Structure 1
Amino acid sequence: MSDFIQFWAQHTPIFSILIPAFTAFILLLLGNPGSDALAHDWRQPWRRGISYFSSVLGLITAISYLIFASTGQISVYALGEWVAPFGIVLVLDQLSAFMLVLTYGLAVPIMWYASKEWDERGRYFHVMFHFLLMGLCGAFLTGDLFNLFVFFEILLMASYVLLLHGQGKARFQLGIHYVTINLLASALFLIGLGLIYGSVGSLNMADVARLMPLLEPDQHRLAVAGGLLLFVVFGVKAAMLPVGFWLPKTYAVATTPVAAIFTIMTKVGIYAILRVNGTVFDDAISREILQNLLLPIGLITSVYGVIGAMGAERLRRFVGFMVLSSIGTILIAISLFNTDAWAAGLYYLIHSTLIGAAFYILCGWITSQRGAFKDHFKIAPQMKQHKTVAMTYFIIALMMAGLPPFSGFLGKIFILQATASSPYQLVIILTILAVSLLSIIAMTRVGFILFWRASRPEDNPESADFTAYQALPAVAPKRNDSVLYILLAGLMAYMVFAAPIYQYVYNTATQIQNNALYEHALLKKDEHGDTISVQAFDPENLPETKYGGETADPNAHLIPYVISEKTLQGEHLTEFKKRQIEQQNLQEKTPEDAQLKPMGAP
């Protein structure tokens, strides 16, 4: 048992990525017939069982990570045994553990819900679902900017297929728009990474944060430009204005479980803004530019979202606009750049994700009971479960509008309290209060149309309307109401345990603002205590390789600090290189020796 615990601790951060990755590959090996044959395929119970077991295992893993991270420790996993910044590392801290628990906490009930008929409407649903989880977990755990791009592409490719799940003309049309927008964002991502790497010489987040203040003015401007390009890319993912108009229509055409899981997708963009633009590009110029951009963007996004909701003609688009408005509220909190505000934003982030998913699940319930009227805001016959559905809608409306005593209210109160030192306090407070008031009005309008003004069902047996009404289901779709109640119960618990949760997110905000802590955890130092890292880009600098031949290398003495002991003692280094290491270690070293030098330099 001790060996297993030691193995688990040694490889901790990577398990959250490997679990969905191996699950997806196993499900691929099972094969997948056409959607018409899935209901009768003998392998379908196996797909569901493997998929659900993997999701639960992922949740247990994420919770164990949260327990570990709550102590304040940072776990670093070096892929290929090459430490940062020379290799890609995974970093488990309080923020990444927090986001992993949110991801799997949402994925488990949605997977259980989708495994009842929804997964039969298209091929490879479970495979793509786990590739999506793999991309999400990787994005939250990586400590490298290029690796962040890789995991973004993994989750995006999975989302392309999931968006088209169930087929249909509308899904295909908006799917093309969604793919096009994200491909453009990916191109900008690569350009931004090129600017950063060309000026800084590194893509490790902790290393870039360390080197930014040391750059020459021209190089610094290029790096800042690269950071701003990344901000635009993350803004597309987060659906902030003016690059977020795609969200309401796109999410509206997705199937119910897909729309529900997609509520976590926008949070990846917000996470990236906080992690990269908020902490990596933390120099004075970058912070000033980001503050000047982020606050007006957050205010406009929040107001636009609720105004769009008031004018929506379909329930699913209404929910999309409300999700958009909540994104603006989180961006407002991030723009304040203080610990209290970031803690409040993280608290509100979980609330907005869960309530958005619950609302999309409710859309599926309402659509099933309105027949041909679906989710359009038109007067329709009273739903057969109108009392239960109306009460559920009322609770969700209170939560989403941010009324007491629910978690949405607490999140907004935390954000308002954090504005105490902001020169824009009055504007922020008035905007958040106005958005809350308009949200109540919008929710009232929707409830009035769907429930209060609903007509009496046709009672003439000879009428076609009577026959159509009787054909409608008298109960919620399978597992629809159960999953909805689970999500609402989770939100209730989130409100009850607000104090310890807020303390955790406050500690999280404190941790991610401490760049020196990440530098100490990720980057190695030589015998003089100087950080072993790259310098600003110099074309004469050549990287050290495992098989360096017999070229004189002035950096040989740094090798033991950047590769593992096993690698150092193995066959990866030539005898010539080992002798160089020994000879240089016998000589007196100066602080200048910690810097990388051109090959052949004295």
Structure 2
Amino acid sequence: MSDLMQFFTQHAPIFSILIPAFTSFMLVLLGNPGSGSLAHDQRQPWRRGVSLASVILGFATALYYLSLANTGQVIVYNLSEWAAPFGIVLVLDQLSAFMLVLTYSLALPIIWFASKEWDERGRYFHAMCHFLLMGLCGAFLTGDLFNLFVFFEILLMASYVLLLHGQGKARFQLGIHYVTINLLASALFLIGLGMIYGSVGSLNMADVARLIPLLENDQHRLAVAGGLLLFVVFGIKAAMLPVGFWLPKTYAVASTPVAALFTIMTKVGIYAILRVNGTVFDDSLSKTILQSILLPIGLITSVYGVIGAIGSERLRRFVGFMILSSIGTILVAISLFSTEAWAAGLYYLVHSTLIAAAFYILCGWITSQRGMLKDHFKVGPRMKQHNAVAVAYFIIALMMAGLPPFSGFLGKIFILQATANSPYQLIIILTVLLVSLLSIIAMTRVGFILFWRATKPEDNPETEAYKAYQLLPSVAPKRNDKAIYLLLAALIGYMALAAPIYQYTLSTAAQIQNNPLYESLLLKKDKAGEIISVQPFTPENLPETKYGGETADPNAHLIPYVISENTLKGGHISEYKQRQILNQNAELAHPDDTQLKPMEAQ
């Protein structure tokens, strides 16, 4: 058992990616008939069982990772045993572990809820959910900018299919818009990466953070421009203004479990802004530009979201606008660039994700009991579960509006406390209070229409209204109410544990701001103690890594520093290359000679 745990710990970060990856491939191999046949397909219980077992295993793994990260250690996993910046690395730190737990805390109740009937409305629902989880986990764990792009594309491709789950004209139309916007964002992402790589010569996050301040003026400005282009891309993913208008309508047409699961998608954009623009681009020019634009963007997004919610005519769009408002609040916290503000933003991020998911599931409950009115803000007869739905809405409204004593209130208090040393303290406090007041007004308006003004159901059996009302379900869709209760229970627990959770987020914020820590853990050093990397970027200024190469390589002596000892002793390194390594190490007379030299110099 101890050997198994040692193996699991040794390969820790990769399992969070492999579990959903293998699950999704397994579910694809199980096959999937048309949506009309799924209810009678003998393989459907197997799909649900495999999917739920995988999510439970992923959740347990995320909790284990959180316990490892809580000790303060950062676990670096070198894929193919090649060290950064030459190889691809996964990094498990407090922030990535925190986001993994959030991802599975959301996925577990939603996939359990969707396993009753919802997954029968379209093909490969469970497979796409696990491809989405694979992309999310990879994005949170990667230490490389290009692989951040790769995992973004994996989760986006899964989201394209999930958005169309259940079919329908509206889903197809807005699905086209969603795909187009994200394809544009992906193109900008690649352009930004090209600008960074062309000027820095590396895409490893720790290496880029180290090299950017050392660049010449022109190269530095090009790298910063690339970083700001990535900020635009992440802003599209996070749905901040002015590139976030797509969210309310797009999420409104998604099926109930998909809309609830998509609440984590915007948080990937926020995570990327925090991880990349907040810590990798840590130079003074990047910070000055980002601080000057992020605060007004956050304030405007927050106000616009709540005003849009007040003007909404459908409940699902209302929830989408409230998500926009919460995104603005988190961006305000990030814009302060302090440990306390980032800790507060992370605490509020979890609250906003879970409460939005609960609200979307409540939309499904309300829609099922209002017949032709669906989620439109029109006065109609009382729902058959009027009291239960009203109580659930009331609790969700209190939490989302940020009223005490719930986690939304605590998150906003933490953010306001973090403004103590900010020159913009007054405008931030006034905006947060204004948004909270408008949120209460918006929630009151919705509750007034759906519940307070609800009319008495028709009691004349001869009328069409009476017959239509009797056809409506008298209970919530299967597992719908229970999924809401699970998410609300999680939020109440989150509120009760606010003190230790905030201390964890405070430690997380301090850790991710410590770039020298990541530099020392991820990047290898030569005998002279110098980091083995390339700056400024020259294509020839690299060690030759062709295993069977018979060409003279002036950098052969550096190969032992960038690959593992087992690989070095294996059969892949040719005898010619081994002799080069030994001869060059014997000939080196000065420590400075260990630095990289161009291949053409010999």
TM (normalized to structure 1)?
0.99
Q: Report the counterpart of residue 82 of structure 1 in structure 2.
A: 82
- What is the CA-CA distance between 1:591 and the residue it aligns to? 4.1
Q: Report the counterpart of residue 405 of structure 2 in structure 1.
A: 405
Is 2:542–2:555's contact at 8 Å kept on the other side of the alignment?
Answer: no
Q: Report the counterpart of residue 557 of structure 1 in structure 2.
A: 557
RMSD value, Cα = 0.9
Q: Percent sequence identity over matched residues?
A: 81
**d(CA) in 2 for partners of 1:297, 1:468:** 47
Is 1:530–1:591's contact at 8 Å kept on the other side of the alignment?
Answer: no
**What does the per-residue CA deviation read over 1:146-185, in whole Å, with 9 as the maximum and x for residues that have no partner?**
0000000000000000000000000000000000000000
**d(CA) in 1 for partners of 2:503, 2:593:** 44
**d(CA) in 1 for partners of 2:593, 2:488:** 59
- Which amino acid in the other structure matches residue 379 of structure 2? I
- What is the CA-CA distance between 1:494 and the residue it aligns to? 0.4
**d(CA) in 2 for partners of 1:118, 1:111:** 10
Going from structure 1 to structure 2, the CA distance change for 1:543 and 1:179 (only over 3 Å counts) comes to: farther
Q: Report the counterpart of residue 582 of structure 2 in structure 1.
A: 582
- Which amino acid in the other structure matches residue 343 of structure 2? A
Going from structure 1 to structure 2, the CA distance change for 1:258 and 1:589 (only over 3 Å counts) comes to: farther
- Which amino acid in the other structure matches residue 123 of structure 2? R
- Matches of residues 7-26 of structure 1 in structure 2 within 5 Å? 7-26=7-26
Q: Report the counterpart of residue 171 of structure 1 in structure 2.
A: 171
- Which amino acid in the other structure matches residue 407 of structure 1? S
- What is the CA-CA distance between 1:10 and the residue it aligns to? 1.3
- What is the CA-CA distance between 1:584 and the residue it aligns to? 1.8
Is 2:527–2:591's contact at 8 Å kept on the other side of the alignment?
Answer: no
- Which amino acid in the other structure matches residue 480 of structure 2? N
Q: Secondary structure of 1:541's partner? A: coil
**d(CA) in 1 for partners of 2:470, 2:185:** 48
Q: Report the counterpart of residue 598 of structure 1 in structure 2.
A: 598
**d(CA) in 2 for partners of 1:592, 1:160:** 52
- Which amino acid in the other structure matches residue 251 of structure 1? Y
Is 1:382–1:457's contact at 8 Å kept on the other side of the alignment?
Answer: yes
Q: Report the counterpart of residue 480 of structure 1 in structure 2.
A: 480
Q: Report the counterpart of residue 498 of structure 1 in structure 2.
A: 498
Q: Report the counterpart of residue 311 of structure 1 in structure 2.
A: 311
- Which amino acid in the other structure matches residue 164 of structure 1? L
Q: Report the counterpart of residue 355 of structure 2 in structure 1.
A: 355
Q: Secondary structure of 1:68's partner? A: helix
Is 2:534–2:542's contact at 8 Å kept on the other side of the alignment?
Answer: no
Q: Report the counterpart of residue 151 of structure 2 in structure 1.
A: 151
**d(CA) in 1 for partners of 2:12, 2:464:** 61
Q: Report the counterpart of residue 253 of structure 1 in structure 2.
A: 253
**d(CA) in 2 for partners of 1:434, 1:457:** 38
**What does the per-residue CA deviation read over 1:377-432, in whole Å, with 9 as the maximum and x for residues that have no partner?**
00110111111111111110010000000000000000000001111100100000
Q: Report the counterpart of residue 442 of structure 1 in structure 2.
A: 442
Please list every run of 5 or more consecutive structure 1 residues that lacks an aligned counterpart in the other structure: none
Q: Report the counterpart of residue 573 of structure 2 in structure 1.
A: 573
- Which amino acid in the other structure matches residue 271 of structure 2? Y
Q: Report the counterpart of residue 272 of structure 1 in structure 2.
A: 272
**d(CA) in 1 for partners of 2:330, 2:455:** 39
- What is the CA-CA distance between 1:578 and the residue it aligns to? 1.0
**d(CA) in 2 for partners of 1:549, 1:163:** 49
Q: Report the counterpart of residue 508 of structure 1 in structure 2.
A: 508
**d(CA) in 2 for partners of 1:280, 1:298:** 21
Going from structure 1 to structure 2, the CA distance change for 1:463 and 1:367 (only over 3 Å counts) comes to: same
Q: Secondary structure of 2:90's partner? A: strand
**d(CA) in 2 for partners of 1:548, 1:432:** 62
Is 2:315–2:377's contact at 8 Å kept on the other side of the alignment?
Answer: yes
**d(CA) in 2 for partners of 1:49, 1:96:** 27
Going from structure 1 to structure 2, the CA distance change for 1:417 and 1:583 (only over 3 Å counts) comes to: same
**d(CA) in 2 for partners of 1:593, 1:573:** 23
- Which amino acid in the other structure matches residue 233 of structure 1? V
Q: Structure 1 residue 238 and structure 2 residue 212: aligned?
A: no
**d(CA) in 1 for partners of 2:601, 2:579:** 18
- What is the CA-CA distance between 1:462 and the residue it aligns to? 0.3
Going from structure 1 to structure 2, the CA distance change for 1:308 and 1:589 (only over 3 Å counts) comes to: farther
Is 1:552–1:600's contact at 8 Å kept on the other side of the alignment?
Answer: no
Is 1:333–1:341's contact at 8 Å kept on the other side of the alignment?
Answer: yes
**d(CA) in 1 for partners of 2:591, 2:290:** 35
Q: Report the counterpart of residue 45 of structure 2 in structure 1.
A: 45
**d(CA) in 2 for partners of 1:407, 1:595:** 52
Q: Report the counterpart of residue 186 of structure 1 in structure 2.
A: 186
- What is the CA-CA distance between 1:594 and the residue it aligns to? 3.8
TM (normalized to structure 2)?
0.99
- What is the CA-CA distance between 1:543 and the residue it aligns to? 4.4
- Which amino acid in the other structure matches residue 497 of structure 1? L
Q: Structure 1 residue 369 and structure 2 residue 369: aligned?
A: yes
Q: Report the counterpart of residue 287 of structure 2 in structure 1.
A: 287
**What does the per-residue CA deviation read over 1:234-287, in whole Å, with 9 as the maximum and x for residues that have no partner?**
000000000000000000000000000000000000000000000000000000
Please list every run of 5 or more consecutive structure 2 residues that lacks an aligned counterpart in the other structure: none
Is 2:543–2:556's contact at 8 Å kept on the other side of the alignment?
Answer: no
**d(CA) in 2 for partners of 1:563, 1:40:** 53
- Matches of residues 79-118 of structure 1 in structure 2 within 5 Å? 79-118=79-118
- What is the CA-CA distance between 1:538 and the residue it aligns to? 1.6
- What is the CA-CA distance between 1:548 and the residue it aligns to? 5.5
- What is the CA-CA distance between 1:550 and the residue it aligns to? 2.7
